[in-house]
Amino acid sequence: MIRACKTILIAGALTLATHTAAQPLAESVGDGVVRFHASAAARDAALPSLCLVEPLTGTGPAPAGWSVIPEFSRVMGRPAIHVQVTQGTDLYGTGEVPGPLRRNGTSVVAWNFDAYGWDANTPHLYQSHPWVLALRADGTSFGVLADTSHRCRIDLTDGIRFVAQGPEFPVVVVEGGTPQDVVRALGRLTGTMPLPPLWALGYHQCRYSYTPDDRVREVAREFRERHIPCDVVWLDIDYMDDFRCFTFHPLDFPDPVALTDDLHADGFRVISIIDPGIKIDPGYRVYNSGQARDVWVKTLTGRDYVGAVWPGACVFPDFTRADTRDWWADLYVGFLASGIDGVWNDMNEPAVFNVDSKTMPLDNRHRADPELGGSGPHARYHNVYGMLMARATFAGCLRARPDRRPFVLSRANHLGGQRWAACWTGDNTANWAHLDMSIAQVLNLGLSGQPFSGPDIGGFCGAGDGRQFARWMGFGALLPFARGHTGKGNVDKEPWAFGPEVEATCRLALQRRYRLLPHLYTLMREASLSGLPPARPLFFADPADRALRGADDAFLLGDGLLVSCNTSPGASRGAILPDGDWRAFSLVEGDGADLDLPVLMLGAGHILPLGPVVQWSGERPLDELELVVCLDDEGKAEGLLYEDAGEGFGYREGAYRLTRFTAQTREGEVVVSADVVEGNWARSGRMVTVRLLTDGGEVIGTGSEAGPIGVSR
């Protein structure tokens, strides 16, 4: 029976929402997690989830007093849910979106889209994360997950509303004491990222395109000669033979093994782009092998779908089928034998040229495996196409090199896709508005389950200028994924491209990153276990502090390191700080005087591990360690350092060391001790320099990590 009708405003258009009287079906599916269906019939008709790690099993009714209950309705005939929020509640998440960190008052669409040159008003970008994290006035938190892969509007103009262009969908609600609790729960539901190889945390240099192969060597040589740290150079589509994936241009890249050997000898890794569109060419082995296994997406009438992308007329693998993913994975065995170290999946929304929708028809057919829901239209599988491609690519990297950790970067993805790929924020623009949005984008991705992300430093579209580039590199070098990139026809955007002054800033920025690699790697390990992102919003330090909730010109790296950025022309560096003692410090000589670099502050009670300045992550072992110490009011501090081989999977068998450093004040002396709390590696005896931050400046102490090490105050 219809209880009520009311008019609501969604994305500027008046629509009629009809609400049913029936209470939704609620079932507990975990500690602090409840799943809701519109009805028993909707539950029985629900298709398998495409974002959850495994199917959820009901264990009984929702806990007594459960307060977050979605209201199911229809909006213009489409299934919708609405969650009311209390006054003072701030909203975050929604994945890869433009605009501010705090999402209240926004309306976006979860629909993967080739959004070249997007701006703050673009309704949908390259990824879809139908997820909202809510932070109440008292600092408690909850999350709402709309378990649908269909196009879905996320309207936060009046509470939390999801409206999907598909069948009824279940809703999963997570309650947590803190936002950290909710993000961890999201990690348990949708999975966590794999531990990346250490080199993936270094700096990456890319452009569309470095060609021919001697230009790639030249760029790499410049980094080493200018003493600017860098781990990876990237190959965009011009390395291919007429844009045929898994090939090399016979004239411009005649000997890829020699190229990668040269780069490896200088400490570089190489990542190359692979798109999903496969050129229709009977003389092309990839096309022929795909034809033989009938792996392509079909039209409604059962023909191979043909769409135009870079190579011209293309067919597209149907990654919803295990057989297709197996075929795709096999392609990497021969390809990675060329010495390529990682894979960049692009254009996988999937993007299609010369059509208004920029993608394939929604009635195309995917012959999906039963565990994904079986055969269905592209409308259901569009948002997971890129995720499933990344899954197949990840499997291919493992198949080619079973003893090495894959690194995959994907432009398109979906909630849960962090299990297979890192991401970047797509084709941004070299202007101050995009620079300013970069931090909020990375933070909201982290709050949506994707810890490993970053923007194209310097902007992909347009030229920008030296000051803007220096500012972008200053904080971009401290985000989880740090890559410089630019488009074809643009000015050069290597760290030295804007002259000596900007080059000096970029060198300092990247030296800072490499000093922080021990800390970043420790945070990545935490992300792989818990889902907590390395880059965190300031409100994580005090969720009840309303003043921190809109801060998107600063972020935390872990719990104790605060990064205060300068994101607009002429702006001064000065973030709102959480309560407590936050002490500024230097990482490399001269960084404190460079106003284009963020201010770094260590919070009371924290110990920060630092490594030496190196030119690439594997240049030398971590045989010297530095600990920056900021004591709390009780004269104590602690910190963690995770170490393993940086590559391979020995850590799964205990070949690692997790060290807890503690500082205590005893009779005017600060004593720093190290204890191995996990792993089979023994405690190190390397030399350690302790930098104690005090009101009067820094006090230095040295000694063996076998310690303890005393520092007189």
Residues near 621 by beta carbon (within 8 Å), at least 6 away in sequence: none
* Cα 378 to Cα 111, 166, 321, 326, 351, distances in angstroms: 12, 11, 13, 21, 13
- Sorted by sequence, the CB contacts under 8 Å of residue 180 that are 6+ apart come out as 532, 540
Residue 680 sits at the vertex; the CA angle it makes with 679 and 681, to the nearest 5 degrees, is 95
Picking from 586, 626, 609, the residue whose alpha carbon sits closest to that of residue 518 is 609
- Distance CA(184)–CA(540), nearest Å, equals 13
Task: For residue 8, count other CB atoms closer than 10 A to its CB.
Answer: 18
82: Cα within 13 Å, side-chain hemisphere? 17
Q: Are 653 and 663 in contact (CB under 8 A)?
A: no
Q: Helix or strand or coil: residue 561?
A: strand
Closest to 601 measured CA to CA, from 551, 565, 625, 569: 565
Q: Which residues pair with 56 in a beta bridge?
A: none
Among 147, 175, 427, 705, which one carries the catalytic annotation? 427
Question: With helix as H, strand as E and coil as C, how does 473-522 read?
Answer: HHHHCCCCCEEECCCCCCCCCCCCCCCHHHHHHHHHHHHHHHHCHHHHHH
Structure tokens at 677: 């709390």
Q: Which of 175, 275, 341, 349 is catalytic?
A: 349
Residue 624 known to be catalytic: no
**Is 346 a residue of the active site?**
yes
Amino acid code (one letter) for 471: R
CB 332 within 8 A of CB 399: yes
Which residue do the tokens 């398998």 mark? 48
Residues sharing a CB contact under 8 Å with residue 101, sequence separation 6 or more, in sequence order = 92, 439, 440, 443, 444, 537, 550, 551, 552
Torsion sign over Cα 436, 442, 445, 447? negative
Of 318, 341, 346, 596, catalytic: 346
Active site residue 175: no
Give just the sign of the alpha carbon dihedral 195, 197, 203, 209: negative
Other CB atoms within 10 Å distance of the CB of residue 665: 15
Distance CA 187, CA 192 (A): 5
Contact at 8 Å (CB) between 455 and 428?
A: yes
φ and ψ of 229, to 5 deg: -60, 140
**Pairing assessment for the beta strands 127-128 and 413-414 based on DSSP bridges:** parallel
Cβ count within 10 A of residue 277: 25
Q: Is 222 exposed, middle or buried (0-12, 13-18, 19+ CB in 10 A)?
A: middle
Q: Return d(Cα 566, Cα 536) in angstroms, integer.
A: 17
Residues assigned a catalytic role: 346, 349, 427
